[in-house]
Amino acid sequence: MINYVEFINVFSMDFYGHSVETGPSAPVYDGLREKKTFSMWITLRRKASWDEATRSSYFLNEEERWISIFEDKKSVEAKLDYVNSKNLGGIWISDVDMDDGSINLLDSIDFGGYCASENDNAVKYQC
């Protein structure tokens, strides 16, 4: 396909496909949690866990049996590293309006070094 188009956009959702349960980087697992609950964990400085296989950050409450998988600077940088390693040429951010400014992921994405590839065959875009 790349022989016929200038670039390809990949929109990826629901890592494990359509199902009743959600997988990594999906916003809910076994129901929705109120934003204040998530914010409270951050306020209390609870350390998030990191899953290397999915390159995702999460909070886990085993007593109440819930998990909150979320984006943070580390997970966003992991995604940007992947994009660069595959020479994909760019990213797309869904629901940017849900960033409330208290933990602004857009500020985390400074694009320093992420828009310039060392691969001569890479698609290079102005950032």
In this prediction, residue 24 carries a pLDDT of: 55
Which residue positions in the chain have pLDDT lower than 70? 1, 6-45, 89-90, 95-104, 107-127
For residues 89-123, one letter each, b for 16 or more C-beta atoms within 10 angstroms of the residue's C-beta and e for the rest, the string is: bebeeeeeeeeeeeeebeebbeeeebeebeeeeee
For residue 28, the model assigns a pLDDT of 47
Q: How distant is the alpha carbon of residue 102 from its chain centre? A: 17
The reported pLDDT for the residue numbered 105 is 72
- pTM for the model: 0.56
The answer to whether 68 and 97 are in contact (CB under 8 A) is: no
pLDDT computed for residue 51 by the predictor? 92
pLDDT of residue 107: 65
User: For position 97, what pLDDT does the model report?
Assistant: 67
pLDDT at residue 50, rounded to an integer: 93
- pLDDT, residue 29, reads 46
* pLDDT for the residue 13: 62
